[in-house]
Amino acid sequence: MDRAWIDGRPVTLKVAVAEAAKLLSTSRFPVIAGLGADVAGTRAAIALAERLGAAVDHMHSEVLLRSLDVMREAGVMVTTVSEARARADYLLLVGPDATTACAELPQLLVGRAGPEAGGGLRHVGWICPGRGALGAFGEGLQPRTIGRDPTELPVLLAALRARIAGRPIGKTRTPKKVIDALAADLAAARFGVAIWSATDLGPLETEMLHGMVVDLNVKTRFSSLPIGSADNALGVLQVCGWMTGFPMRTAFGRSLPEHDPWRFDTARLVEAGEVDCAIWISAYGAAAPEWTAVVPVIALTATDAPMQRTGRVAIEVGRPGTDHDAVEYAEAVGALTWRAAARPSHAVSVAQVLAEIATALPTGA
Amino acid sequence: MLTHLAGGWVIDPANGRDETGDIWIRDGRVVEAPPGEARPHTTYDVSGKIVMAGGIDIHSHIAGANVNTARLLMPAYHHAAQQRPDVTPLANAGWTTFATGCLYARMGFTMVVEPAVAPQHALHAHLELADIPIIDKATLSILGNDDFLLGLLRAGESAAAVNDYVAWTLETTRALGIKVVNAGGAMAFKSNLRSFSLDDVVPYYGVTSRQIVKALQRAVRDLRVPHPLHVHCNNLGLAGNAETALATIAAAEDVPLHLAHLQFYGYGKEGERGFSSAAARLAAAVNHAEGLTIDVGQVMFGQTVTISSDVLRQFNARAQAHPKKWVLFEDDANGFGIVPYAYRADDFYNAIQWAVGLELFLLIDDPWRVFFTTDHPNGAPFTTYPEIFALLMDRDARAEWIAKLPPEAMALTTLPAISREYTLSEIATMTRAAPARLLGLADRGHLGVGAVADVAVYENQDDKAAMFRNAALVFKNGELVARNGEVTARRFGRALTVRPERDRSIDRRMRSYCQDRYGISPDLLAVPESAIGRPDPFELVPCAT
């Protein structure tokens, strides 16, 4: 059965969709936020945003744009979990969440490098592990750890990069000979891979790390593997890229897509009163928006629990890859992949609901 | 519904037509002139106008993870998608899937081949292609730096095993053909080799680039895939690399082979700077090699961004990045590199590159074997095609350009001495009839009875660039989609694929291979029809019998 609510009262899907269309058609500037959706849902969301002149954002834009800004300002060298599994004779972990941000990672990286990479046990270095643990894939591995407190990370990375390039460094909390030993390990790697969670690192640390990887490639081979794409953020990024030319935080207010990470940040748009209606999508769960200001919300979430009370209109949608077939970003492959429904159900998909809302909009809206 | 294009100048080289005549269209196909007093639903008076089949672009990077990364790397280039024609080509392109289809259609192109799809990104590429309106499309899947193929060759497995794997890849990724990019070079780069040529050996695998190319070339032929192996040679962009191209041409022997963007291999080492045009020698070799086809990869001046699966080349080109940023993505197999680049008319090397492309166009005799590309966006964005047509058809337009370019560069090319001008019939051959034949598409690229009614009508003008920039009328499957360069109707075409026979035991083998090596199921590489999100997204092209 459809599960939909208006102001917390159960209604049919049709009634909820009609109410959503009414809210949107009278809105001067809506935002489509959250956007925890599969590829089909994202395509529908962007098509609707174009029609409404709305802004498009994702709940993890902050972290994602931090990584993306490093790419589009400086460039990156990256690889995939699969290739790290086959090739890497050295793994450089950075920050406490480096082993936990991707659930499949430990299983994928356990064991030895492939025969074309010598087949040896991998060597592991870990900068600022904090309370992080190697866990399953660390069996038999003896990581060389340096630093502990993640606040040390910026200085350590800078010092390490300097030593790799043979430049002198000033005084650091971690002794120079420890930094030099790690620098020597990295230079001795045949194909090293730096792994970190995008949430752990700020923009400058990320850029420093990428720069270090590029420097290492002057003599040997090294790449990087930033991990942690929740709520299909990287899949949504790809769809935004091909449909609008830009990442999320892009809006159609002036009909052409305009991208502005500050201006089209949903929290800012809502708090500043610039938008007067929001579609909140969280099909992989039931994340709630972070903003506090009041704005009419049309919520499409995987469970009714948190949103039915706060959303003006709430519609329960199926989970991509669980209730219905879906295309989404798979970290293990580093690509958009097809996932058949694990437990097919009749729950409506984000794409279906958004298409129905679009159909219910008055012509010209 | 019957449509009548009346009294146009029909240029249809595949059917030997170059005359004033009519075209009749019914249910999306070209049909015989109906007997008696036919009452067409719509008649278009195209008298005095030029009527050709829709254009087919065999090599243009329009979709996929690599293209999308370039978009995200270069937000400034479509920051202002307004009309700013001559200044910022990519901005003009308004770089999205939707703009791609519309911009091709307005020039009268109705099919484009995305030539570089990594198998694991096939679904992504097809999703983007599905969002490119109007035109039909197809992909070439990349093999030749992947562990599985190199492992087969290392183990000395049979040609049949290679064939099965190639057939499995074609079906799984829904491709129309196979491309090899710097065969073995990306793999060698992972083992820290910094240059890689035709007879260099890939570490551990113990096979040469030549062996990889020949194995794939034979497999594609044995499987009767219409499009021959599509080869991006070693040593792209380097001085003296014409030798590599010549050696690859010699290695092809009599088996069909297609060399992509040959302009990027047309360089000698003459002159003070050790960089010169070797296009005349290459063109002579192409003229002599009957089974060989090439596309040009013409360079035009302006800002662009290079998108290539030749990671070794892209890494080595990083110092030339403009603006100074670049992306290198390595995965199993080729990966890709994205390096922004600005071709400058006052740059000696860029001027030579520009001339080499035109020399190849003009010195290769047979328009059935030389194909019109800029390797979009690597040599130039596809929006520059009209200007290139004009250069090919008008020696005075070339002379004007040559006069503006560094004379010391022009002195190292044969271009100033070439007087050939392409005829409209040769243009139609190169961009319509020949591509359809090369790809094995019996019902495209011509206007004979039974052909898909993809038709481009151009105003006959002296200004050839203006003529090809905005087609007067464009029909896709018989439906009017553009008029005077404006898209009037948006429809969605299909992706064309081949599916050669194979021994199904390869499927089980791939399953255990993917599990053992990557810890994944090969289902993660699948491109199910239902994932594409548009009705009837694929069309199967038969293999040769």
Domain at A90, CATH number: 3.40.228.10
**Taking the mean position of all CA atoms in its chain, how far away is CA A196?**
13
Residue of B nearest to A326 (CA): B531
| Bond before B323 cis per omega within 30 degrees | yes
**Taking the mean position of all CA atoms in its chain, how far away is CA A103?**
14
- Choose from B524, B529, B530, B534 for mutation: most chain A CBs within 10 A: B524
CB contact under 8 A, B332 and A217: no
CB contact under 8 A, A77 and B524: no
Residues A165 and A114 in one domain: yes
pLDDT of residue B84: 42
The residue among A228, A256, A283 that closes a domain is A228
Q: Is residue A129 a contact partner of residue A145, using CB atoms and an 8 Å limit?
A: yes
pLDDT of residue A109: 74
Q: Out of B71, B189, B325, whose CB is closest to A241?
A: B71
- Identify all chain B residues contacting A334, using CB atoms and an 8 Å cutoff: 120, 331
Domain-embedded: residue A300: yes
Residues A214 and A331 in one domain: no
Query: How far apart are the C-alpha atoms of B57 and B53, rounded to whole Å?
Result: 13
- Identify all chain B residues contacting A108, using CB atoms and an 8 Å cutoff: 518-519
Query: How far apart are the C-alpha atoms of B138 and B127, rounded to whole Å?
Result: 12
Which run of H or of E encompasses B172?
Answer: helix B159-173
Q: Out of B78, B326, B330, whose CB is closest to A79?
A: B330
**What residues pair up with B308 in beta bridges, in sequence order?**
B337
Residues A76 and A120 in one domain: yes
pLDDT of residue B75: 85
- Shortest distance, CA A277 to any CA of chain B (angstroms): 26
Q: Domain-by-domain residue ranges, chain B?
A: 52-495
Q: Is residue B70 a contact partner of residue B307, using CB atoms and an 8 Å limit?
A: yes
H-helix segments, chain A = 13-26, 39-52, 61-74, 81-87, 105-109, 153-164, 176-188, 203-216, 233-244, 266-271, 307-310, 350-360
Query: How far apart are the C-alpha atoms of B144 and A185, rounded to whole Å?
Result: 32
Q: Is residue B62 a contact partner of residue B112, using CB atoms and an 8 Å limit?
A: yes
- Identify all chain B residues contacting A238, using CB atoms and an 8 Å cutoff: 65, 68, 124
**Per-residue pLDDT at A331 exceeds 70:** yes
Residues A196 and A334 in one domain: no
Name the burial class of residue A351, with classes exposed (0-12), middle (13-18) and buried (19+) by CB atoms within 10 angstroms of its CB: buried
pLDDT of residue A131: 81
- Shortest distance, CA A292 to any CA of chain B (angstroms): 31
Residues A100 and A211 in one domain: yes
Domain-embedded: residue A365: no
pLDDT of residue A307: 64
Tell me the mean pLDDT in the region A89-117. Answer: 83
- Identify all chain A residues contacting B525, using CB atoms and an 8 Å cutoff: 333, 337
- Choose from A50, A112, A116, A324 for mutation: most chain B CBs within 10 A: A116
In which band, very low, low, confident or very high, does the pLDDT at A309 lie, cut at 50, 70 and 90?
Answer: low
- Shortest distance, CA A117 to any CA of chain B (angstroms): 8
Residues A243 and A325 in one domain: yes
Tell me the mean pLDDT in the region A191-196. Answer: 95
Residues A32 and A140 in one domain: no
pLDDT of residue B36: 79
Q: Are strands B326-330 and A75-79 parallel, antiparallel or unpaired?
A: parallel
pLDDT of residue B82: 45
**What residues pair up with B141 in beta bridges, in sequence order?**
B117, B178
CATH of the domain at A49: 3.40.50.740
pLDDT of residue A140: 67
Residues 6+ apart with CB under 8 A from A315: A2, A3, A4, A5, A13, A16, A17, A20, A298, A299, A300, A301, A348, A353
Query: DSSP code of B429?
Result: I
Domain-embedded: residue A313: yes
Query: How far apart are the C-alpha atoms of B379 and B261, rounded to whole Å?
Result: 9
- Shortest distance, CA B77 to any CA of chain A (angstroms): 10
Reading chain B (545 residues) residue by residue, the pLDDT tens digits are 899 999 999 999 999 999 999 999 999 999 999 987 778 899 999 999 999 999 999 999 999 999 999 999 998 776 444 444 433 333 344 689 999 999 999 999 999 999 999 999 999 999 999 999 999 999 999 999 999 999 999 999 999 999 999 999 999 999 999 999 999 999 999 999 999 999 999 999 999 999 999 999 999 999 999 999 999 999 999 999 999 999 999 999 989 999 999 999 999 999 999 999 999 999 999 999 999 999 999 999 999 999 999 999 999 999 999 999 999 999 989 999 999 999 999 999 999 999 999 999 999 999 999 999 999 999 999 999 999 999 999 999 999 999 999 999 999 999 999 999 999 999 999 999 999 999 999 999 999 999 999 999 999 999 999 999 999 999 999 999 999 999 999 899 999 999 999 999 999 999 999 998 888 889 888 999 999 999 999 999 999 88
A44-90 confidence digits (pLDDT tens): 999 999 999 999 999 999 999 999 999 999 999 999 988 998 899 99
Residues A224 and A235 in one domain: no
Q: How many residue pairs bridge chain A and chain B with CB atoms within 8 Å of each other?
A: 163
Q: What percent of chain A has pLDDT over 90?
A: 73
The residue among A210, A228, A246 that closes a domain is A228
Name the burial class of residue B345, with classes exposed (0-12), middle (13-18) and buried (19+) by CB atoms within 10 angstroms of its CB: middle
Structure-token match 């962009």, residue found = B237
Residue of B nearest to A116 (CA): B204
Q: What range does the domain containing A88 cover?
A: 66-228
CB contact under 8 A, B325 and A73: yes
- Shortest distance, CA B108 to any CA of chain A (angstroms): 23
The yes or no reply on domain B52-495 and CATH 3.20.20.140 is: yes
Q: Out of A76, A221, A243, whose CB is closest to B131?
A: A243
**What residues pair up with A9 in beta bridges, in sequence order?**
A6
The residue among A228, A261, A286 that closes a domain is A228
Neighbours of B347 (CB within 10 A): 16
Q: Is residue B208 a contact partner of residue B200, using CB atoms and an 8 Å limit?
A: yes
CB contact under 8 A, A247 and B96: no
pLDDT of residue A112: 83
Q: Is residue B517 a contact partner of residue B150, using CB atoms and an 8 Å limit?
A: no
Tell me the mean pLDDT in the region A148-163. Answer: 93
Residues A316 and A348 in one domain: yes
- Choose from B67, B71, B338 for mutation: most chain A CBs within 10 A: B71
- Identify all chain B residues contacting A237, using CB atoms and an 8 Å cutoff: 72
- Shortest distance, CA A9 to any CA of chain B (angstroms): 33
- Identify all chain B residues contacting A332, using CB atoms and an 8 Å cutoff: 518-520, 524
Residues A321 and A215 in one domain: no
Neighbours of A177 (CB within 10 A): 7
Task: Give the count of domains, chain A.
Answer: 2
**Per-residue pLDDT at A333 exceeds 60:** yes
Domain-embedded: residue A167: yes
- Shortest distance, CA A294 to any CA of chain B (angstroms): 32
Q: Is residue A235 a contact partner of residue A42, using CB atoms and an 8 Å limit?
A: yes
